[in-house]
């Protein structure tokens, strides 16, 4: 029996014929199936025909029935659907329902999701990328058959040769795979098809309005365009723009929300900071907390830059249409500037240095650096900063003008301060010319004052009583000749027994240098070194922190006629930052005319709190108080081995 084509005028007559045919075929049961079973009873029979006819006549709606009345899949319910049901009842072959896949244009990186399927479309030429070009296999063809483009929607018929790509990779390195090949660029404007992922098959994706910019990660001047003159897609510097479409799988599109970022970056600052939060996801809202709890849409909404005046930890999240980003945290450590509120601008220059050396002024902002101790709040104190144009601040020191003596020298050691670029560049010490001449110490004072006079040692050998003992050592600053030369300033040394200088003190210096030059031991080492020029407190007793000339006379028979201070005790305060954790310790030694070769370095270690009690100097005062309290009160001896 042939397929019957009818119209509405003959519908009643047609129904009578079909009813009779159905009666003759009584007992014929059709397996339950979706197609044709409009009533949902599990069989295809006259009731399904009646249902479709009622829909056509306007007596019912397609939504009134559980089954699909559009039996031929053309999007409408009409007489052709009745014909399909008749042939199903009569056991005739019916053409399959044509199937298609719908894709939607995307305009944001939020809509890029690994594992989803995409088309590369050229709307201007009403087609999409297909397979390899016949005869030109290093290019991709434009396919216009089997694809319908309309208002940002692409419908792809099953028999179309359009390439459907599965997106792989991540935001900085996407891949396009059509099931067999990956898109790649390897030479000139070729758009190759390769079987495995390589550097040239990775792409970055951006958007400008409706257009997609798909750029090769290895060859960044190559972007996918359609070339109408050659009727192909290639990777080149120009051409007709393409668009990216994602498969419409129903429901809300899956999006990826980028986590918030902070500007400036989290870190330690010496002044209040204005913190801005942003997300790369357009339309997303940022929420944050500062109390350690996890942020949500119920947390504080970010609306404008936030001024941070005290140490604050932000936890932030970005949310768009119910989809959340990862939670990120950022700590802004604001150092208590009041610790060095007495900082005064102090000009400085670099004597005996090349034209590359810096001559400038120190400013209040420099006083928050972690290596600085508390600066004395009186006009008798002058802070001097030595720097070079190539490595910045070399070291800083504080001078007691009345005593014409160094109170301390401080510096940092990290990967930006390499060692062994140069050796010792001079043995000549120059006065600190940035202070008034009355407070300077000349090199000649060491000889005319008999500090370096030869004398007889206790064992009968000849010796030089005192050497010019570096505080910031020559070996501490070896990144450049200028940097090393800066250590040869008389304000950076004290009279020191040569045996002590070359013995125990030298071993202490070597150990600190070992730590400071080891990137595996530290991220940054902060060092403050000095010697006592005033009384000190030892075991609750005040004792002299200097060696009088009479003591030198009694021991060596040398008449010291100069006025330089001879410190009795020498120290090093060391703070280590590693992986966000701080550790601190101090070395303390009494200088005697001995190398102290049997004295272990471990036996010289004390806590920073103890060093502060002995010297009256507040070390590392710019640390946050909670960290300072912990690291200065204890010594992790095993850490400092």
Per-residue pLDDT tens over the stretch 238-291: 999 999 999 987 755 556 788 999 999 998 776 678 999 999 888 889 999 999
Q: Which two tokens mark 106?
A: 């995307």
More confident residue, 103 or 349: 103
Domains of the chain: 8-89 (1.10.1330), 101-247 (2.80.10.50), 261-334 (2.60.40), 339-633 (3.40.570.10)
> Are the CB atoms for 259 and 277 separated by under 8 Å?
no
Coil, strand or helix: which one is 337?
helix
DSSP H/E element including 554: helix 549-556
Helical pair 79-89 and 11-24, crossing angle rounded to 10 deg:
10
In tens, the pLDDT along 172-220 reads 789 999 888 899 988 778 888 888 888 899 999 999 888 999 999 988 8
CA triplet 162, 167, 172: central angle to 5 degrees? 135
* Nearest alpha carbon to residue 376 among 419, 344, 403, 351: 344
**Residue 395 near residue 432, CB atoms below 8 Å:** no
Which helix or strand (DSSP H or E) is residue 589 part of?
Answer: strand 581-590
- Per the rule left: phi > 0, alpha: psi between -120 and 50, beta: everything else, 489 is beta
Q: What's the whole-model pTM score?
A: 0.48
- Residues 439-458: pLDDT tens digits? 888 888 877 777 776 655 54
Three-state DSSP at 196 gives coil
Nearest 5°: the CA angle 219, 220, 223 is 95
pLDDT at 98: 66
Which residue is listed with tokens 């690994």? 114
Strand partners, 317: 287
Radius of gyration of the chain (CA): 42
Tell me the average pLDDT across 32-36.
Answer: 63
User: What are the tens digits of pLDDT across the range 311-366?
Assistant: 899 999 998 877 888 899 999 987 654 444 333 333 333 222 222 223 233 333 44
Question: What pLDDT shows up at residue 75?
Answer: 63
Residues 6+ apart with CB under 8 A from 542: 535, 536
Contact 267, 332 (CB under 8 A): yes
CB contact at 8 A, 589 and 570: yes
Around Cβ 27, how many Cβ atoms within 10 Å?
5
Strands 267-269 and 328-334: parallel
**Can you tell me the distance from the alpha carbon of 583 to that of 577, in angstroms, rounded to the nearest whole number?**
7
Phi, psi angles (nearest 5°) of residue 89: -60, -40
pLDDT of residue 10: 44
Rounded CA separation 465/497 (Å): 6
| pLDDT mean over 157-169 | 87
What the block records as the tokens of 245 is 């479409």
Range among 59-73, 184-198, 271-285, 593-607 with highest mean pLDDT value: 593-607
Distance CA 435, CA 619 (A): 24
Preceding omega of 106 cis (within 30 degrees of 0) = no
> How many Å apart are CA 75 and CA 82, to the nearest integer?
14
**Lowest model confidence (mean pLDDT) among 141-155, 382-396, 506-520:** 382-396
3-class SS at 347? strand
Which pLDDT value is given to residue 453?
A: 62
What is the greatest pairwise CA distance in the chain?
Answer: 142
Query: Do 235 and 182 meet the contact criterion of CB atoms below 8 Å apart?
Result: no
Alpha helix (H) ranges present in 301-439?
A: none
**H helices then E strands: how many in the chain?**
10, 39
């Amino acid at each position: 029996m042939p397929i019957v084509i009818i119209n509405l005028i003959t519908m009643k007559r047609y129904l009578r014929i079909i009813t009779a045919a159905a009666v003759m075929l009584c007992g014929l049961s059709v397996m339950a199936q979706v197609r044709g079973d409009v009533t949902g009873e599990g069989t295809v029979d006259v009731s399904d025909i009646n249902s479709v006819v009622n829909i056509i006549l306007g007596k019912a709606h397609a939504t009134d029935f559980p089954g699909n009345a559009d039996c031929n899949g053309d999007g409408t319910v009409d007489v052709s659907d009745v014909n399909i049901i008749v042939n199903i009842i009569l056991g005739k072959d019916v053409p399959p329902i044509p199937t298609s896949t719908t894709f939607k244009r995307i305009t944001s990186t939020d809509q890029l999701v690994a594992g989803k399927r995409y088309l590369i479309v050229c709307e201007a030429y009403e087609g999409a990328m297909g397979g390899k070009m016949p005869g030109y296999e290093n290019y991709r063809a434009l396919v216009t058959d089997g694809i319908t483009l309309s208002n940002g929607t692409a419908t792809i018929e099953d028999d179309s040769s359009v390439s459907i790509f599965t997106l792989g990779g991540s935001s900085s390195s996407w891949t396009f795979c059509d099931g067999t090949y990956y898109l790649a660029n390897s030479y000139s404007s070729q758009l190759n098809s390769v079987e495995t992922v390589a550097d040239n098959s990775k792409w970055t994706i951006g958007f400008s309005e409706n257009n997609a910019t798909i750029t090769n990660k290895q060859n960044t001047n190559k972007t996918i365009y359609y070339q109408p003159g050659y009727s192909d897609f290639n990777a080149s510097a120009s051409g007709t723009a393409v668009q990216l479409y994602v498969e419409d799988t129903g429901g809300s599109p899956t999006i990826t929300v980028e986590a918030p970022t902070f500007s400036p970056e989290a870190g330690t600052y010496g002044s209040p900071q204005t913190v801005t939060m942003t997300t790369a996801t357009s339309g997303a809202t940022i929420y944050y907390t500062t109390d350690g709890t996890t942020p949500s849409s119920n947390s504080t909404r970010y609306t404008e830059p936030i001024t941070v005046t005290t140490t604050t930890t932000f936890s932030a999240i970005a949310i768009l249409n119910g989809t959340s980003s990862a939670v990120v945290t950022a700590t802004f450590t604001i150092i208590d500037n009041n610790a060095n509120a007495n900082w005064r601008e102090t000009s400085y220059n670099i004597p005996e240095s090349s034209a590359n050396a810096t001559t400038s002024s120190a400013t209040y902002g420099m006083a928050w650096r972690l290596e600085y101790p508390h600066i004395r709040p009186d006009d008798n104190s002058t802070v001097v900063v030595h720097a070079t144009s190539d490595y910045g601040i070399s070291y800083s020191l504080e001078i007691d003008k009345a005593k014409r003596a160094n109170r301390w020298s401080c510096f940092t050691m990290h990967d930006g301060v390499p060692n062994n670029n140069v050796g010792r560049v001079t043995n000549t010490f120059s006065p600190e010319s940035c202070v008034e001449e009355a407070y300077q110490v000349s090199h000649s004072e060491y000889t005319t004052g008999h500090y370096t006079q030869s004398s007889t040692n206790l064992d009968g050998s000849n010796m030089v009583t005192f050497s010019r003992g570096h505080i910031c050592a020559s070996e501490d600053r070896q990144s450049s000749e200028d940097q090393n030369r800066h250590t040869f300033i008389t304000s950076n040394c004290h009279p020191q027994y040569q045996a002590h200088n070359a013995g125990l003190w030298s071993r202490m210096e070597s150990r600190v240098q070992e730590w400071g030059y080891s990137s595996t031991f530290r991220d940054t080492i902060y060092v403050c070194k000095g010697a006592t020029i005033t009384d000190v407190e030892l075991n609750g007793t005040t004792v002299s922190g200097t060696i009088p000339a009479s003591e030198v006379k009694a021991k060596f028979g040398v008449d010291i006629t100069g006025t330089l201070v001879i410190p009795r005790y020498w120290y090093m305060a060391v703070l280590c930052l590693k992986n966000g954790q701080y550790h601190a310790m101090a070395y303390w030694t009494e200088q005697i005319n001995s190398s102290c070769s049997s004295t272990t370095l471990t036996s010289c270690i004390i806590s920073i709190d103890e060093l502060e009690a002995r010297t009256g100097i507040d070390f590392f005062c710019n640390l946050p108080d909670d960290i300072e309290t912990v690291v200065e009160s204890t010594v992790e001896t095993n850490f400092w081995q």
